[in-house]
Structure 1
Amino acid sequence: MTRSQSAGKTVIWALISATISQASSVMERSSFGNGRRMSHAGNGLPGWTVSGLGYLPEMLSDRIILTPPYPGNKRGALWADDIIPESEWHVAFDFRANGEERSGGNLQLWYVKKQEAVGSSSIYTVGKFDGLAITIDTHGGKAGIRGFLNDGTIDYKSSGNVDALAFGHCDYQYRNLGRPSKLQVKQSSREFEVLIDGNTCFKSPKVFVPPGNLFGLTAASADSPDSFEAFRFVATTYSGGNAKQQERGQEPPNRAGQANNDKAPSGGNVDIKDLQARLQAISSTTNKLMDELQALSRTNEDRLKEVIRIVAHRDQVSSVDQRLQRVERVVESMQREMEGKDYHNQFKQLQDLLHNSHSGLLDTLHDSSHRIISAAPRMGFFIILIIAVQLLLAVAYIVYKKRRASMPKKFL
């Protein structure tokens, strides 16, 4: 067994112990899309009430279409039948919104005392409700998520400015993402937090909603409609003791008459259900940890390869650096030798040698030119010779003319 596997098992058992000490129970009847098909006979959803205005939400095997892509002005609602008995809980809600960029519509996640106070209303059309509302819509030209609270005294429908009643918000482009958005709402003894796609949207240590409320989803579309789809809704409660899901007999007084007909479960069944819930939570946590450990192992392997590559490059850089250091040492040695020696005598000898060579060259050139000039024939001799030849030619021509003139003439 490797060290990483041993450490991974140690972490897993530690988390299992923490999970057992603080039991987490998935509220199966207040959840859907949690690893099971959602479509059932009779077009119903166990543990939930489906309703709408002008449209009944369509249930498919993997999602529920709360409002259709066409036509507009439709409303859809899903309400859990069972209340949440614990004060610490966590909700994971996966949804998707499709429509035009300027489409109108909104999606609400409710946690309120009475379903009848909300029905299929939106945050803009609801009256006096007691509880929490998380709204996903476009307001002020920006798409985002907001949180609203009410203790049953404020009539939101008649309020002049609903936007001012929000206690928290964040911008989020939810429309046409091509994938489900993952909304999480957490309430603990320390703080209340809303997350979207794993990032905190807003949180506050001052917000706390009392237990005993119902979860619900409502969606509304406008003339240019948004189509809202619900893929998954998982409600989980946390407690240090035997946390269990309350049946209808423990619901508020307005629903007590209906709940009295249900039989209370026996203690043995409750223990089995609680044990199953804990084992399911442990199994889910273990699977997540194994996935994270595998991802961590892959990350470490990638980092090791990167380190090896960097070390190889570092060796090459070190070799080049050593060569540069050797060159620097040679240059420094030459510089020290140049600075330590006196080259004045050498330069003087070189100067004398150049001076002697220059003087000898001048003397040699002077003697050679004198001999060349002395040995060359004189130009006066050539000139006199030319004049004498011309005089002789002139005398000969004159003699010839005289002799011809003195010769006897012949007449025919």
Structure 2
Amino acid sequence: MKTFASLALFAAGAVAQVIEGSSFGYDKTISPTRDSIPGWNIGGEGADPQIVSLHVEQDHPDSPFPGNVRGSAWAQNPITQSEWTAEFQFRGSGQERSGGNLQLWYTKDGQARVGTSSIYTVGQFDGFALVIDTHAGRGGSIRGFLNDGTTDYKSHRSVDSLAFGHCDYAYRNLGRPSVVKLKHTSSIFEVTVDDKVCFSTNKVSLPAGNTFGITAATPENPDSFEVFKFVLESAAGQGQTIPSHQESAQQQQQPIINQNQNQNPNPSTGNTVLDNGIAAQFVDLSGRLQLTNKATSNIIQDLKAQASKSDARQTELLQKLASKEQVAALDARLQRIEQLLQNVQRDLEGKDYSSKFNQLHDTLRSSHLSLSESLQGSVLSAITASTPRMGFFIFLVIAFQVLLAVSYIVYKRRRANMPKKFL
């Protein structure tokens, strides 16, 4: 899902005490051009934000960067007032396991020190940060962080423990903008969400001279963040409020109903701001319908591809199955085998084979007797034929003894005839 940081405008006109140089969304258009917003610097990493009509899109739907995108918007002028109120409208949506965070900064030299960083990647900033994300697996939370420029958040082991105030707020997929208001005076610093107090304290005092900024960061599976307006008022302007997005929508609802009743294709309320707001709503609705049509077309194409694959698999399976002729031949073979087995069974059950078994037994017995007799005579004759004769053996013994005696006599005579040696 793409990441959007769109800045949309639905305001009923400028109100006194609005600090215009650090605000947007209080007039009928955000910017007269599509390149920049007056008084603000827009930047991004991974995809450059684009200002289209009344929206600033950080990640266009056709962008090749589906995630890991950072965007920022920083006011060019610092705030000279020490007491002020700020209204911040945003909307967050995404898939079940998508994520991302949105930060509202009030820091010294914010664009130079913070840039497009989030609360987890920023270094030693000096000021206040309001973080909106799904911290610790919750449905959503809003937390406040302070720093005097000495703590390096990027290298800190537990950034979450540095929050001085927080509240749980399920902001994702509400289908409407969420309104966050900040109030800073000499006696209180308060953050409210949808007119309910999130956290407040009388121990925080922010100096003048800081600048406001908005940053958004998304992971690989991103959330979609839309910022509709940011309006900053000085303390003197308290009691005078700029109509919110919901109020503008309620004011615009009656002309739309009258349009359906009168069947007038070009309704006009007589109020230029309201007419521009209605036109902006139609432009936004048209863009959403185009995205829906594109997604529907993709789904239809996927279904067609799956149908073609299923047809191909079915054809392949039908080709692998046996034909009718093969099945008939196999059935005929099985019938022949069954018939042969039945014939053998009938033969075994209908005939008496006892006489044949007796005859076979007699034949085996006679064969055994004749074999035993012939084998016994053959073995005896073989032993007798191979045994040496006793007379020849005795002759050999006597001849050997005579030979020994003659040899001994010859030896004695030679020894007696040998000359004797005297010492």
- TM-score of the superposed pair, with normalisation by structure 2: 0.51
Contact 1:65 1:230 survives alignment (8 Å): no
Letter in structure 2 aligned against 1:27: I
Shift of 1:60: 3.7
Q: Following superposition of structure 1 onto structure 2, how do residues 271-310 of structure 1 map, counting pairs within 5 Å?
A: none
Number of the residue aligned with 1:50: 42
- Aligned partner (choices 66, 70, 78) of residue 73 of structure 2: 78
- Tell me if structure 2 keeps the 8 A contact 1:33–1:63: no
SS of residue paired to 2:87:
strand
Superimposed CA distance per residue, residues 15-46 of structure 1 (whole angstroms, 9 cap, x where no aligned partner): xxxxxxxx972111111111321143242100
**Where do residues 152-167 of structure 1 align in structure 2 (5 Å cutoff)?**
152-167=149-164
The separation in 1 between residues aligned to 2:58 and 2:83, in whole angstroms, is 28
| Unaligned stretches of 5+ residues in structure 2 | 1-14, 248-423
- Report how many aligned residue pairs link the two structures: 227
1:127 matched to 2:119: no
What displacement does 1:63 show?
3.7
Find the counterpart in structure 1 of residue 102 from structure 2: 107
Deviation at 1:119, TM superposition (A): 0.2
Aligned counterpart, 1:204: 201
Cα offsets for 1:270-295 (capped at 9, x unmatched): xxxxxxxx7xx88x56999xx9xxxx
Structure-2 change in CA distance of 1:63 and 1:230 (3 Å): farther
Q: 1:94 aligns with which of 71, 83, 89?
A: 89
Q: Distance in 1 between matches of 2:118 and 2:205?
A: 22
Unaligned runs of 5+ in 1: 1-22, 240-277, 292-412
Match of 1:149 in 2: 146
- Cα distance in 1 between the residues matched to 2:187 and 2:40: 30
Q: Secondary structure at the match of 1:163?
A: helix
Quick one: structure 1 residues 50 and 201, their matched pair in 2 at CA, closer, same or farther if it must change by over 3 Å?
Answer: same
Paired residue for 2:18? 26
The answer to whether the 8 A contact 1:182-1:196 is kept is yes
Task: Give 1:238 deviation, angstroms.
Answer: 1.9
What aligned pairs does 1:4-403 form with structure 2 within 5 A after superposition?
Answer: 25-67=17-59, 71-114=66-109, 115-142=111-138, 143-239=140-236
Shift of residue 102, structure 1, vs aligned partner: 1.8
CA distance in 1, matches of 2:34, 2:179: 29
Cα distance between partner residues in 1 of 2:219 and 2:167 = 23
Q: CA deviation at 1:55?
A: 1.4
- Secondary structure of 1:140's aligned partner: helix
Residue in 2 aligned with 1:10? none
Q: CA deviation at 1:66?
A: 4.0
CA contact (8 A) 1:63 1:230 kept: no
Q: Give the Cα–Cα distance (whole angstroms) in 2 for the partners of residues 184 and 151 of structure 1.
A: 23
* 3-state SS of 1:185 partner: strand
**C-alpha distance 285-79 of structure 1, shift in aligned 2 (>3 A):** closer
Q: What secondary structure sits across from 2:164 in the alignment?
A: strand
Return closer, same or farther for 1:100/1:188 CA change in 2, 3 Å cut-off: same
- Give the Cα separation in 1 of the matches to 2:214 and 2:242: 31
1:138 to 1:286, Cα distance in 2 relative to 1, 3 A = closer
Distance 1:132 1:187 in 2: 12
Contact preservation (8 Å) 2:31, 2:38: no
Q: Distance in 1 between matches of 2:88 and 2:22?
A: 12
Determine the C-alpha separation between the residues in 1 that align with 2:218 and 2:85: 28
Shift in alpha-carbon separation, 1:132–1:66, aligned structure 2, 3 A:
farther
Deviations 1:384-403 (A, max 9, x none): xxxxxxxxxxxxxxxxxxxx
1:25 is paired with a residue of what secondary structure?
coil
**Is the 1:67–1:219 Cα contact (8 Å) retained in structure 2?**
no
Instruction: Give the structure 2 partner of residue 244 of structure 1.
Output: none
Q: Is the 8 A contact 2:19 2:233 kept in 1?
A: yes
Q: Deviations along 1:345-370, whole A, 9 cap, x unmatched?
A: xxxxxxxxxxxxxxxxxxxxxxxxxx
Task: Give SS of 2:147's match.
Answer: strand
One-letter amino acid of the structure 1 residue matched with residue 36 of structure 2: G
- Give the % identical residues: 53
**Aligned partner of residue 84 in structure 2, secondary structure:** strand
- In structure 2, what residue type is equivalent to 1:183? V
Q: Deviations over 1:138-180 (max 9, x none)?
A: 1111110000000000000000000000000000111111111
Contact residue 104 and residue 212 of structure 2 kept, 8 A:
yes
For residues 52 and 117 of structure 1, what CA distance do their matches in structure 2 show?
Answer: 15
**C-alpha spacing 1:82/1:286, structure 2 compared with 1 (3 Å):** closer
Note if contact 1:65-1:228 (Cα within 8 Å) is conserved in structure 2: no
TM-score, structure 1 length as denominator? 0.52
CA contact (8 A) 1:65 1:227 kept: no
